[in-house]
Structure 1
Amino acid sequence: MPFPKIQWQNLPAIALLSLPDLLPEWDRLNAERADLPFMTSAAVSSALQVFGSGAERLLVGREAGTVVAMLLLVPTGSFQWRTFQPSQLPLGVWVAAKELTPTSIARSLMRGPLGFCLGFSITQVDPLLAPREIDQADSKHIDYIDTGWIDIVGTFDDYWNARGKNLRQNMRKQRNKLATEGTHIHMRMWTAPEDMADAITRYGVLESSGWKASEGTAIHPDNPQGQFYIQLLKNAAKNGGAAVYEYFFNDKTVALNLCIQRSETLVVLKTTYDESIKNYSPAFLLSQDKIEQVFGQGTIKRIEYYGRMMEWHTRWTESKRTLYHLTCYRWSWLKKLAERRHKKKEDAYALTATNDANTPSIVPPVSESNS
């Protein structure tokens, strides 16, 4: 298969911030595929500033002088590269013209600007943006996670009546009980740039009171995560693209959703709730009210979760798809070698798990191997 005739420019990643003509090119290519709100030049620049190590590179590909692909890359070992992938971004950081496939981009990079490159990976690819291809002698696709979404079609009543009976009854009972107790429940939506920093502060206070505090992963306005989300939401809010949903029991904040929106898509980035509340589900109450509001407004056509699909997601939607990783190898024998090494590691893990559990089988249960 011939490689696409792309002329590549290999730049320090900071060039995306310092060369102003590159930012509109990035946004143009993002808009060409899906116009994702977390893949705008502003969002990517914020992630690079906060989470970048300085080793990142910006690869700019042109055909006949027109920019057709831009990727942020990081080295991952001897002669290996992958897309920039901070955990706060749902997908690997790249944009490209619609006709270019991830495999063709990877092959062109490996045989060109990356020099002697043995392996190159594009991480966490959404099949809606780039349909999964068939594995070739030099390429391999690996499942990452299932993720869910909600299509905003018809009326909220239609959608709600299609939910499970247990969910509908549970929500109704909770609302009736709260009303009986005299608790006023309500939701507020914050969209202005000046509201974002305070919203992140309240989010951090709530999240820090839960299990994430003990793991050190809670958002705080002074830590890198907090700084990133403040920048992201402020920049999005300048173009009407930020939406923070906050839920109250009387005057007390009990749940928050951090969201960004663009081109009729609302992406739920983060959710937290007051874990000290045992008899109610504030995050579910917030979700119900938020989805009802989205149906009523009529501007959003799709709610995306872009996180691993959990049991609770299935109560809100049956729709799911599988994100994937793509790795291309310089030679087909390298792929075979990598597969053999991976198989050895899997076998060693399975044998260790078997010995620890003192069971006759060397294969972990499906629920564990797919977790």
Structure 2
Amino acid sequence: MHASTLHWQNLPANALQQTTGLMDEWDRLNATRANLPFMTAHAVQLALSIFGSGAERLLVAKQFDSIVAMLVLVPDGLLQWRTFQPSQLPLGVWVAANTLNATDLARSLINGPLGLCLGFSMTQVDPLIAPREPDQADTKLIDYIDTGWIDITGTFDDYWAARGKNLRQNMRKQRNKLAAEGIVTSMRVLRAPGEMADAIARYGVLESSGWKASEGTAIHPDNEQGQFYIQLLKNAAQHDGAVVYEYLFNEKTVALNLCIQRQDTLVILKTTYDESIQAYSPAFLLSQDEIEHIFGEGKIRRLEYYGRMMEWHTRWTENKRTLYHLTCYRWGWLKKLAERRQKKTDHVTAAIPQAAAANHANVSPQESSP
């Protein structure tokens, strides 16, 4: 399928919900690739309604009277556009038939429905969805982050035996220590729509008591983030697509994972734990029990983190891949100009003392863990 034969419509983003059939078409296209649970039409519309500015546009491509691609775009400076990318969604917002590659879509957009567009970026692209291609005269691909996943194959005992010796020993020591102190551990698995709001409230209590509270990024049932996750998980739960794993010490919540699933893939959207007891490694204890539970159920074949791969992730999996940004320029000389400007910016940035740069870092403290 050649993108040069696409016929585009440039619509307000709210057309996704207001135009009959477009949400169904979005879900159909999502299913042709990875069928991502956070890229359903409902999830996208929810993100637009809560985090959108109103400037977003819905670009719809047809070929032979069939819709073959849909992208939500936002202005990104003078005569530039990019995919809608709220921080609550791991990838840029677009879906397309798997016969279309990302580069061809970008070129078609620049040369057609966006008018005089000098550059267009597809942000946070997953190579599983759109395989990475070499840079071309008018395109540039930039690494975003490494992310990890766990293949749920074989038995949990085999998986656990393959983990590092230190992890296995330290987890055993933690459990022995808790037992000696009379602390009973347990894990709840919540799936019902009516359980989601209360779970988000408990999540918010933990997150609001940690480092994110000072940053103003903590989830709370009354803020935009809280409303997004409540509605997202409630809707997913109505289709057996949401699960919250909650870990407790003596019936007190100490860690939670908010997850969403579709078919045999589970995505961990958010995780938090009680930082006041991080010496007990509540998040690690939850991870172990959660993964064992997933192996035991036999329904999930892939657990995705979709976040920056940290050192602690490597204790649970060796698998990783690199998400990337794709930028397409209207003309090749614009790419060269952008690269020259970037080199100058990098040179200036390198001259900033590391201590000053560190003041602007937004790095989450890691649990003191095995």
TM-score, normalising length: structure 1: 0.94
Matches within 5 A, 1:191-340: 191-340=191-340
Alignment partner of 1:72: what SS?
Answer: strand
Q: Distance in 1 between matches of 2:152 and 2:209?
A: 33
Residue type of the partner of 2:262? R
Q: Distance in 2 between matches of 1:119 and 1:8?
A: 18
- For the 8 Å contact 2:126–2:322, the answer to whether it is kept is yes
Q: Distance in 2 between matches of 1:226 and 1:354?
A: 35
Q: Distance in 2 between matches of 1:16 and 1:354?
A: 45
- For the 8 Å contact 2:83–2:121, the answer to whether it is kept is yes
Residue type of the partner of 1:316? W
Instruction: Give the gaps of 5 or more residues in structure 1.
Output: 358-371
By how many angstroms is 1:263 displaced? 1.8
By how many angstroms is 1:335 displaced? 0.2
By how many angstroms is 1:353 displaced? 3.3
| CA displacement 1:144-196 (0-9 Å, x = unmatched) | 00000000010000000000011001110111111122111000011111111
Counterpart check, 1:160 vs 2:160:
yes
By how many angstroms is 1:354 displaced? 8.0
Cross-structure match for 1:139: 139
Q: Distance in 2 between matches of 1:141 and 1:115?
A: 23
Alignment partner of 1:24: what SS?
Answer: helix
The 1:210–1:63 alpha-carbon spacing in structure 2 relative to 1, beyond 3 Å, is: same
Counterpart check, 1:91 vs 2:91:
yes
Cross-structure match for 1:150: 150
By how many angstroms is 1:342 displaced? 0.2
| CA displacement 1:246-304 (0-9 Å, x = unmatched) | 00001100000000000200000000000010430000000000000000000000000
Q: Distance in 2 between matches of 1:221 and 1:32?
A: 34
Q: Distance in 1 between matches of 2:3 and 2:163?
A: 48
Q: Distance in 1 between matches of 2:256 and 2:154?
A: 26
Q: Distance in 2 between matches of 1:145 and 1:115?
A: 31
Cross-structure match for 1:363: none
Q: Which runs of 4+ in 1 moved over 6 A?
A: 354-357
Residue type of the partner of 2:188? R
Matches within 5 A, 1:349-368: 349-353=349-353
Q: Distance in 1 between matches of 2:334 and 2:290?
A: 49
Residue type of the partner of 2:177? K
By how many angstroms is 1:19 displaced? 1.2
Alignment partner of 2:76: what SS?
Answer: strand
Q: Distance in 2 between matches of 1:274 and 1:115?
A: 50
By how many angstroms is 1:329 displaced? 0.3
Cross-structure match for 2:178: 178
By how many angstroms is 1:356 displaced? 7.8
Q: Distance in 2 between matches of 1:35 and 1:68?
A: 15
Q: Note the aligned Cα RMSD (angstroms).
A: 1.3
- For the 8 Å contact 2:3–2:100, the answer to whether it is kept is no
Matches within 5 A, 1:2-151: 3-151=3-151
Alignment partner of 2:220: what SS?
Answer: coil
**Greater mean deviation of Cα atoms: 329-338 or 344-353:** 344-353
By how many angstroms is 1:3 displaced? 4.8
The 1:324–1:247 alpha-carbon spacing in structure 2 relative to 1, beyond 3 Å, is: same
| CA displacement 1:114-136 (0-9 Å, x = unmatched) | 00000000000000011001111
The 1:276–1:11 alpha-carbon spacing in structure 2 relative to 1, beyond 3 Å, is: same
Counterpart check, 1:190 vs 2:194:
no
Residue type of the partner of 2:309? M
Q: Distance in 1 between matches of 2:112 and 2:142?
A: 25
- For the 8 Å contact 2:9–2:60, the answer to whether it is kept is yes
Q: Distance in 2 between matches of 1:250 and 1:37?
A: 33
Alignment partner of 2:255: what SS?
Answer: strand
Alignment partner of 2:293: what SS?
Answer: helix
By how many angstroms is 1:355 displaced? 11
Q: Distance in 2 between matches of 1:95 and 1:15?
A: 16
Q: Distance in 2 between matches of 1:3 and 1:237?
A: 37
Alignment partner of 2:307: what SS?
Answer: coil
Alignment partner of 1:68: what SS?
Answer: strand
Cross-structure match for 2:360: none
Q: Distance in 1 between matches of 2:227 and 2:356?
A: 43
The 1:97–1:356 alpha-carbon spacing in structure 2 relative to 1, beyond 3 Å, is: closer
